Amino acid sequence: MKRSLGELKVIKMPSLNGTKPSSVLRSRVWGVLTLLCVFSTLAVGQVRLLPAPREAHFAGETALPATIAVSVPGHDAEDAFAARDLEEAMKAAGLRGTGAEKAGYRVVLLRTGSAAAKAQLAGLGLPFDAAMEAEGYVLAVKPHEAFVVAASSSGVFYGVQTLKQLLPLPGGKRVLPTGTVRDWPAMKYRGIDDDLSRGPFPTLEFQKHQIRVFASYKINIYSPYIEHTLLYAGQPLAAPPGGALTPADVAELVAYARLYHVTIVPEQEAFGHLHQVLKYDLYKDVAETPHGHVLAPGQPETLPLIHGWFTQIAQEFPSPFLHIGADETFDLGVGRTRPQVQARGYGPVYVDFLKQIHEDLAPLHRRLLFWGDIGGADPAAVAGLPKDMIAVPWNYWDTKGFDKMIEPFAKAGIETWVSPGDANWNQVYPVAKTAFGNIQGFIRDGQRLGSTGALTTVWNDDGEGLFNMDWYGVLFGAVAAWQPGESSIPAYQEGYGQTFHGDASGKVDEAEKELMAAQEALEQARSGLTSDELFWLDPWSAEGQEASAKILPLAVDLRTHAERAIVLVAEARAANPHLKEVDALTAMDMGARRLDLIGLKFELGQEIADTYAQALAQQHDKARRAETQNILDEIGSMFGRCQDLRDAYSAAKGEYSQVWLSENRPYWLNNVTVRYDLAIEKWQQRGDLFLEGIRGWDNGRDLPPATALGLPAAATQQGSGR
């Protein structure tokens, strides 16, 4: 909800601070928390804040001079880094940092124990509660100076992140809204889980970029998902050359993340999802099934393999947590452990293996996270799990009904982090409607049931996912984990374009909504296929014909929304050369063009079939020869429909490769572009066949039957009579 400068009120919320309110107060507290959804973004002129502060009051604005001094009286090294981070943002906004004696405006970063901080808090009449000690802050923006007050280095850093969002956009009016912010997070752990094992593998520089952006939205956990893409000194076989983190990469990344108050929590699958390891015969004795997906509990070399992995991980990643995965262990009980599972049941065998892993890794002194599948598969077995483990129940589709996923662990006294998803897998662009509803509901209910963390996931099941398309969803996860209660989706959508891209025009936000509308058209078609499957599907195949019948009535709607998104992104970029995250804008354009290509393919595929049937029917009618010639040219000539589809896939390949290489290493790219090559070749060959048929017809021969040109049988029947 937007509010004008004079309308913005003080918002005060009770803090749960990790404790459970009494049953008498719980409903009252959560009634207030639900009310907060109205304020999940704050508008001050054209500046919005994401995540929304817990309490804020802005009542005016002050003109900024060109020079600003940022000082750290306590001389703390981490606070000094926060100051440099602010200075970089100032520079991007066209402001200069300078010495305090020369500055027209100053920003001071203070710790609560200092006399200056106490004086500021007393003067403002703002308390600094126990709930704020770990990561909270007070921000006061005055006409000639601003103060960030916090008890911790992370609190100072997060206060700076809020102040950065208040800075003027490049080229905009050089003013700063004046007022106060009092803020602290709803959840202690706020993370992103990024799939590094299903194809795209980021460059180290892009991972650093991710960390910077995550931290600016107050994310404090980055969890790279690993099946085989971490190079183990003692087990080097499975790590793909050019597609794995080396010890040197890890050391550099961990040190970098620490500066931004981000803890890297590595997730190495230690039970299921291990086909990329188990496909090698060296590991045949630890596999549940030959070249399968699941490690077999009870085999002599199974625990030593896990122990070796996590011993190295613990040495390289100084995180208090290790994530052992353990999700989707579908093969358990199918192979080597069939007798045990048949005798005791799936749940007890699964839980016993997790207990063995827990005991074996105990000397590493790390808390183990695991995916919470067992809570749904066998809730009774949950009680047998070690109480110091952390369950991560996950759901990526629903918008409600999350209690049953969390409660088995809560009742057993096991801490939980909830895990919603970005809905990017098997899609040419993430389905934001699905992601938003899922993230909103799961994190809301997780907070209500005492979950201490949220881990929003990105998955690349099709091997094609690009993270620069994922920001819209994952940053809503960041916002929802910081804000208490149910976060407003519309409010987030109103603030995203400005805070992430620096776009005050609203065009980027509108483009994202157009992409959502395009995807909604695909959903209404009810084809049963994902947008990625539709993108590669041959419209003339039997499956393609079934999909075509459902999609064609909505193709114009699909394409119109996608094309509007393309135009809006182009207009935003043309109007403002200072937009941020330009690679993500290119990824948006690419997503829109791929959605447009889905509609184009089914439209042109049907047009070719229909018009060729007409040409077949009138090919011997001399009076209509010119008309027939024109029909054939429009199908297979230089600018015919077959060539249109060839050109579209060729252009999509080029843009896709550009976006890939802007964030990823070359590893795996050829496995995706080969699909573009095949599509390009298919439509080139079809165009050539039509050209050959046209030349034969020009020389007095009959046109080839439709089936000889790859057209579906319906076209043959339609054009068979003469």
The whole-number pLDDT of residue 200 equals: 98
Query: Three-class SS string for 17-46?
Result: CCCCCCHHHHHHHHHHHHHHHHHCCEEECC
- In angstroms, the CA 407 to CA 393 distance is 10
pTM: 0.93
- In angstroms, the CA 275 to CA 124 distance is 59
Q: Is 401 helix (H, G, I), strand (E, B) or coil?
A: coil
- Phi, psi at residue 226, to the nearest 5°? -130, 125
- In angstroms, the CA 499 to CA 494 distance is 10
Rg (CA), the chain: 29
- Tokens for 554, please give them: 């909505």
Asked whether 435 and 420 are in contact (CB, 8 A), the reply is: yes
- In angstroms, the CA 71 to CA 99 distance is 9
The whole-number pLDDT of residue 548 equals: 97
- In angstroms, the CA 679 to CA 564 distance is 25
- In angstroms, the CA 530 to CA 591 distance is 14
Q: Is 353 helix (H, G, I), strand (E, B) or coil?
A: helix
- In angstroms, the CA 130 to CA 111 distance is 14
Pairing of strands 42-44, 47-49: antiparallel
Q: For the chain of 722 residues, list the mean pLDDT of each consecutive stretch of 10.
A: 31 35 37 38 63 94 92 97 97 82 86 97 96 98 97 98 95 92 98 97 98 98 98 96 97 98 98 98 98 97 98 98 97 97 97 98 98 96 97 97 97 98 97 98 98 98 97 98 98 97 97 98 95 98 97 98 98 96 98 98 97 96 96 92 98 98 98 98 96 95 95 56 30
Contacts of 305 (CB under 8 A, 6+ apart): 235, 283, 286, 295
Centroid of chain to Cα 238: 26
Query: Exposure string (b/e) for 146-162, b if CB count within 10 Å is 16 or more?
Result: bbbbbbbbbbbbbbbbb
- Tokens for 199, please give them: 């194809």
In 3D space, the residue among 304, 306, 312, 301 whose CA is nearest the CA of residue 326 turns out to be 306
Query: Which secondary-structure segment (H or E) carries 97?
Result: strand 96-97
> Dihedral of CA 326/329/335/337: which sign?
positive
The whole-number pLDDT of residue 503 equals: 96
Asked whether 120 and 83 are in contact (CB, 8 A), the reply is: no
The whole-number pLDDT of residue 721 equals: 34
User: What are the beta bridge partners of residue 418?
Assistant: 454
SS3 content of the chain, % helix, strand, coil (to 5): 50, 15, 35
Contacts of 276 (CB under 8 A, 6+ apart): 197, 227, 228, 238
- In angstroms, the CA 257 to CA 438 distance is 28
- Tokens for 216, please give them: 């600016």
The whole-number pLDDT of residue 160 equals: 98
CA 209, 438, 515: angle at the middle one, nearest 5? 65
- In angstroms, the CA 607 to CA 111 distance is 69
The whole-number pLDDT of residue 652 equals: 98
User: What are the beta bridge partners of residue 490?
Assistant: none
How many of the other CB atoms lie within 10 Å of CB of 688?
12
Question: Given the structure tokens 């165009």, which residue do they identify?
Answer: 687
The whole-number pLDDT of residue 35 equals: 37
The whole-number pLDDT of residue 526 equals: 93
- In angstroms, the CA 428 to CA 648 distance is 15
- Tokens for 494, please give them: 């109103």
Q: Where are the alpha helices (DSSP H) in 507-575?
A: 507-525, 531-536, 542-575
According to DSSP, residue 537 is labeled -
In 3D space, the residue among 388, 366, 392 whose CA is nearest the CA of residue 456 turns out to be 392
The whole-number pLDDT of residue 568 equals: 98
